[in-house]
Amino acid sequence: MSRTDQPEVAIIMGSQSDWPTMKNAANTLEALGISYDARIVSAHRTPDRLVEFSKSAKKEGFKVIIAGAGGAAHLPGMAASMTPLPVFGVPIESRALKGQDSLLSIVQMPAGVPVGTLAIGRAGAVNAALMAASILALHNSQIAANLDEWREAQTKAVAEKPVDTEE
Ligand code: RP5
């Protein structure tokens, strides 16, 4: 699997506390040989950092942004409002409302400023990385091959019969 020097995907998140979830996106990108840069960018606590990041992300060479946030999750939408790059939003599973707040905050964007919203939590983080990979694979045959291989391995890993597991 090949890597390039300039990270192709930016993973941004509202807080350090989002990293255990967003690490699933990072791990998936790594498995696919896709370079990324992970940063903490908070829409509420570091608004200037958000503006600076979003306005320069394309110039920096990023091709896709994955943004995870929880609660009043304004990060993905605000980032999308300031960049032409595709933005995938990952709703973090919040303690108070189990991520329903995050999901609704991210998914209900007004027409004209899209955020590709994924599932709450780990599944969303993994799938955001896979969506990023699908986009990059359109113009990168190595990533396309890695993605095919990853999917094939996933299929092969599914047993035909269930086994008893400890509860
Ligand atoms: C959001 O607030 C973050 O994305 C995080 O999910 C949530 C809680 O942040 P912490 O209080 O844990 O830093 O901005």
* Domains located in the chain, CATH noted: 9-156 (3.40.50.1970)
Closest CA to 62 of 43, 42, 88, 44: 88
pLDDT band at 5 (very low <50, low <70, confident <90, very high): confident
- Ligand 1 centroid–CA 144 distance in Å is 34
Any known ligand binding at 17? no
Taking all residues of the chain, what is their mean pLDDT, rounded to a whole number? Answer: 96
Res 166: pLDDT: 84
C-beta of residue 126 within 8 angstroms of C-beta of residue 15: no
Query: Is pLDDT above 60 for 3?
Result: no
- Ligand 1 centroid–CA 18 distance in Å is 7
Any known ligand binding at 151? no
Structure tokens at 70: 């929880």
- List residues near ligand 1 (CB under 6 A): 14-15, 17-18, 42, 44, 69-71, 92
* Nearest atom in ligand 1 to 17's CA: 12
C-beta of residue 94 within 8 angstroms of C-beta of residue 61: no
Query: Is pLDDT above 80 for 116?
Result: yes
Query: What phi-psi label fits residue 98: left (phi over 0), alpha (psi between -120 and 50 degrees) or beta?
Result: left
End-to-end CA distance of the chain: 37
Residues 73-82 have pLDDT tens digits of 999 999 999 9
Which residue has the least CA distance to atom 3 on ligand 1? 14
